[in-house]
Amino acid sequence: MVEVLRALRLYVLLQRASARGAMQYRLNTVIGILCGAVWQGTGFAFVWVVMTTFPSLAGWGLAEIAFLYGLRLTAHALAMIPMISVNDIQWVVREGEFDRFLLRPLNPLVQLMGNRMGIAQFGDLLVGVTLLAVAAQHAHVRWDVWLVAFCLAAIAGGALIEAAFFLALCSLALRMIDTFQLRVFVDDVFSKFGSYPMKIFGGVVEWVLTFALPVAFVAYVPASVVLGKLDSPWAPAAPVLGAGLIVLAYRIWRRQLDHYQSVGH
């Protein structure tokens, strides 16, 4: 527990330094956030266009799809804000920079995570939270203490699920050097399939996206509970699953770290 608290404190200090560096170029920071917001806004605009052609998808209206999209995007942003610099791992390994992390008396993963701040991902978070607030009002969500607590826990769980897959795939770069295309593929699956009700895919695809690659637990299952479309004993699994997967992903990271070989620069 002491090690976890120490790592968290170090991460906060590194991110604070990164934020101070980013704020030296305020216009660039603002543009980065706006670019992230515009990119995600265009993604939802496509969903909007689809919904004008098909007013209902598997029984979900526009407001409900918007809530699902906002839930997924919020979880995605919270996963990537602290993890975005881990995406640079293939360059860090290839250039021999990772050796410096191993020589310092600090957790190498914390150092890698603190390398830079995900500026554009704050734009993702802005769009996600806005969609959640507006869509919840139009979808007539009846909030109570339990539902708010479940929604917050589900967002955290969804973020941990995405972060776990991202960390596990990034850790493979310690042995395989470059896993970028594989990470892009998995991220596309989460973003494209995770923004729609699983029922529209049906059959084998729905099963795979629920149990093999748990995309459904990031947003679809929690959104179904909040919107009153699902009442199942495994509905609260998203927060628990996220916690379990991030622990497993960190164990994979540690395992790959044991097999790391310097490039010899």
Cβ contact 215:190 at 8 Å: yes
Residue 251 domain-assigned? yes
Residue 265 domain-assigned? no
Residue 264 domain-assigned? no
3-state secondary structure of 60: strand
Q: Check: pTM over 0.95? Answer yes or no.
A: no
Residue 194 domain-assigned? yes
The count of structural domains within the chain is 1
Domain that holds residue 228: 2-258
Residue 24 domain-assigned? yes
133: exposed, middle or buried (C-beta count within 10 Å: 0-12, 13-18, 19+)?
exposed
Q: Which residues contact 167 (CB under 8 A, 6 or more apart)?
A: 83, 86, 246, 249, 250, 252, 253
**Tens digit of pLDDT at every position of the chain (265 positions):** 566 677 777 777 777 777 776 677 778 778 878 887 888 888 888 888 877 777 788 789 889 999 999 999 999 999 998 888 888 888 888 888 888 888 888 888 888 888 777 778 888 999 999 999 999 999 988 899 999 999 999 999 999 999 999 999 999 988 877 778 888 889 889 988 988 888 888 788 888 988 888 999 999 999 988 998 876 556 677 788 999 999 999 999 999 998 888 765 5
Residue 12 domain-assigned? yes
